[in-house]
Homo-oligomer: A and B are copies of this chain.
Amino acid sequence: MGKIKMGMIGGGIGAFIGDAHRRASRICNEFELVGGVFDIDYERSKEFAAKEGISPDRCYESVDAMIKAELALPENERIRVVSIVTPNALHYPQAKKFLTNGFHLVCEKPMTMTVEEAEDLEKLVKETGLTFALTHTYTGYPMVRQMREMIAKGVLGTIQRIDAQYYQGWINAIIHGTGSRITGVWRLDPKHAGVSSCMGDIGVHAFNLIEYTTGLEIKEVLSDLNPVKEDIKLDLDGTVLLRFSDKLKGVIRASQVCGGLENDIVVSVYGSKASLRWEQENPNYLYMFSDTEPTKVFKPAHGYNEKMAEEGQTMPAGHPEGIYEALANIYKGVAKSMRGQAFTQGEFPTVHDGVRGMKFIHSVVNSNAKGNVWVKI
């Protein structure tokens, strides 16, 4: 059972997220990067391939060229899965081409630019039966998985309130810097970022973590977004009221102007019997609160954890693993799925999670545009 041959689109020299995907694929040790289209500039792409030790033959000039050449190879030499880490607007056309030609996919978020594109991809995945993973990386942390499994088992009783936060600070330094605000950060430019900055880039992670950990669907949203500065067109900050059902409400808070904060994601789920809280910056702690017992702190690599959490850490307890290992856990799930091995729902976020995310982003933007009214997701 050799390594799975992997390709990559984007992620060349200087690309942060492509590097993260490669590291994760190496950590889980199930994949071998053998080719791809690493840069829109072919020369830079070849330079990158050389640096990575990738054969120049398989450093392709375009996605089309890559598909053609790979399909011409014997099946056991062919790239079977492709990681798409290109700018957002390219995800959809590239993903579509690969799916229709039989390649499994790992795709960066946001999955597409529109809901329609997202639904089209979902349809294609269903039809082809191919594996498609969306890298909502935080779902790869063992304690997020533990949270999901505990909730699924009913440990919390009836859920009564849900609150998720994603507060970030790095853009704050930029918007108060001396350079141009918009050219400084592509996320602030509608042409590249789409309809939303804050909700599209980070709010959607909070959304995903809620649906991932609780297994519930958010039905309606009412949002209040804030571009903060006059010359910025997209939201840098916002709050979203959530309705899951008549008696279950919640809130998502997200902001890119929390100066000095790093990557402060918190997901809290409050139930009739107990509550759980997880904080991304200390990802190996899961707090459980109950009316009758001392607060409990769950940590990875202990027999008391659920199976999916337990498998998420390879080191003994007390040896903190981090974000790369979380992403590696998602890649591990992809490998299991591709190999036809048993795996638990939740080992990687799916194309359906991508559809849900696009619907969330667009609903939130609509709610705000219409004057902070309820919009169905």
Shortest Cβ distance from residue A152 to the other chain B in the assembled complex, whole angstroms? 18
- Asked whether A260 and B51 contact (CB < 8 A) given A29-B26, A372-B222, A372-B374, the answer is no
A41 at the interface (CB under 8 A from B): no
Q: Is the CB of A163 within 8 A of B253?
A: yes
Kindly identify, within residues 192 to 249 of chain A, every residue whose CB is under 8 Å from any CB belonging to chain B. Answer: 222, 224, 226, 228-230, 237-239, 241, 247-249
- Asked whether A297 and B294 contact (CB < 8 A) given A29-B23, A163-B253, A247-B229, the answer is yes
Shortest Cβ distance from residue A186 to the other chain B in the assembled complex, whole angstroms? 15
Shortest Cβ distance from residue A171 to the other chain B in the assembled complex, whole angstroms? 10
User: Size range of the interface on A?
Assistant: 35 or more
In the assembly, what is the distance between CA of A210 and CA of B26, in Å?
Answer: 33
In the assembly, what is the distance between CA of A224 and CA of B242, in Å?
Answer: 9
List B contacts of A270 (CB < 8 A).
Answer: 167, 255, 257-259, 261
Q: Is the CB of B302 within 8 A of A289?
A: no
Shortest Cβ distance from residue A27 to the other chain B in the assembled complex, whole angstroms? 6
Shortest Cβ distance from residue A133 to the other chain B in the assembled complex, whole angstroms? 19
Kindly identify, within residues 266 to 289 of chain A, every residue whose CB is under 8 Å from any CB belonging to chain B. Answer: 268, 270-275, 280-283, 288-289
- Asked whether A272 and B176 contact (CB < 8 A) given A161-B237, A260-B295, the answer is yes
List B contacts of A302 (CB < 8 A).
Answer: 294
Q: List 11 A-B contacts (CB under 8 A).
A: A16-B316, A19-B314, A157-B176, A168-B318, A251-B251, A259-B291, A262-B319, A295-B296, A315-B323, A315-B324, A319-B322
A53 at the interface (CB under 8 A from B): yes
In the assembly, what is the distance between CA of A318 and CA of B260, in Å?
Answer: 11
In the assembly, what is the distance between CA of A299 and CA of B27, in Å?
Answer: 24
List B contacts of A318 (CB < 8 A).
Answer: 168, 261-264, 280-281
List B contacts of A26 (CB < 8 A).
Answer: 23, 26-27, 29
Q: Is the CB of A296 within 8 A of B296?
A: yes
List B contacts of A169 (CB < 8 A).
Answer: 275, 289, 291
